[in-house]
Amino acid sequence: MPARVGAAGMSGSVQIILIIAGFAAGMVDAVAGGGGLITVPALLFSGLPTAAVLGTNKGQAVFGSATAVAWFWRAGRIQWPRIPVGFIGGFAGSWLGAWLATRLPPQFLRPMVLVLLVVAAAVLALRRDRLVQGQAVAPPIARKRQGILALTLGAYDGFFGPGTGTFLLIAHAMWLGDDLTSASAHAKVINFASNLAAFVLFSLHGAVIWSVALPMAVAQMLGSAVGAKLAIRNGDRMIRRVVLVVVAGLVLRLGWDLWR
């Protein structure tokens, strides 16, 4: 059980930094995933206990991912038949991953994640035509593949987390043949489900500091709305650039963790 701390013990400047971080994370996450790269370090900087950092991060991120899903849905970028399998798989996988996280050390995943991110960055940087988009698959196959992605990457999100949204986006494009805008939209459905599962677990353990999470959640929602609109309007070219930046940031962050 984390210490009961909150915004009352923080300076005004720290609270402003957290709100700005929430907005920026929501915008980036709606486009390419990786918003946790911004919010987790900001929450650590605020001085919250580690358990409260993880719980509060999920407490505000779930609102951002829900907002992004709503915007993509309104724009017609989400296929209804793929929602149930993606949501259920992401929720169940994240719940399982969070349960495993209480029993296994996550450190062994870091080298593997770093290698995968480097490969993903190379694929994005070197392919100049349709980039990461693979061959389109029939809807029944797409649903099955999305279920596998949701379960495995949902479990990864609950267990470890960094880069989940980016992995989901790239996997949807390469394995299901989605264009990058549709890949980003369907990735957010799974990411919302995995965030929701982790949020429920952290809430049950009292690890969400609501006085910190709620202002960040409002900022996340605003940032997610802006990011989703930009992704819908500007399409694959902008998403590719943002994904490259996010992947580079993830590689640097995980590389630093490994070196340290």
Residue 58 is assigned to a structural domain of this protein: yes
* Within-domain flag for 189: yes
User: Residue 231 contacts by C-beta under 8 Å, 6 or more apart in sequence?
Assistant: 30, 31, 72, 181, 184, 238, 239
Output the six-digit token pair for 206: 């009292």
Q: Please give the mean pLDDT across all residues of the chain.
A: 81
Range of 71-75, 159-163, 166-170, 229-233 with top mean pLDDT: 71-75
How does residue 123 score in pLDDT terms, banded at 50, 70 and 90? low
* 67-113 pLDDT, tens digit each: 999 999 998 888 888 889 999 999 999 999 888 776 766 566 556 65
Count CB-CB contacts under 10 A for residue 210. Answer: 14
Which segments within the chain are labelled E, that is strand? none
Say which residues have a Cβ less than 8 Å from residue 49's Cβ, sequence separation at least 6.
2, 3, 5
Give me the pLDDT at residue 183, please.
87
- Residue 238, domain member (yes or no): yes
| 80 vs 126 pLDDT, higher one | 80
Number of domains in the chain: 1
Does residue 3 fall inside a structural domain?
A: no
Q: Residue 209 falls within a domain, yes or no?
A: yes
> What distance in Å separates the CA atoms of residue 88 and residue 151, rounded to the nearest whole number?
8
> What pLDDT, on a 0 to 100 scale, did the predictor assign at position 1?
43
pLDDT given for residue 109 in this prediction? 59
CB 117 within 8 A of CB 163: yes
> What is the per-residue pLDDT across 240-251, written as a single tens digit (0 to 9) for each?
777 777 777 767
Q: Is residue 4 part of a domain?
A: no
Residue 46 falls inside a structural domain: yes
Looking at the predicted structure, is the pLDDT value of residue 126 above 60? no
Would you say residue 7 has pLDDT above 70? no
6 domain-assigned? no
* Nearest of 181, 223, 245, 250 to residue 29 by alpha carbon: 223
Identify the pLDDT of residue 3: 43
Q: What share of the chain is helix, strand, coil (3-state, %, to 5)?
A: 80, 0, 20
pLDDT in tens, 138-157: 777 888 888 999 999 999 88
Write out the residue range of the structural domain in which residue 55 sits: 11-259
Q: Which residue has the higher pLDDT, 168 or 98?
A: 168
Q: Is the pLDDT of residue 221 over 90?
A: yes
- 130 pLDDT above the threshold of 50: no
- How confident is the model at residue 4, as a pLDDT? 47
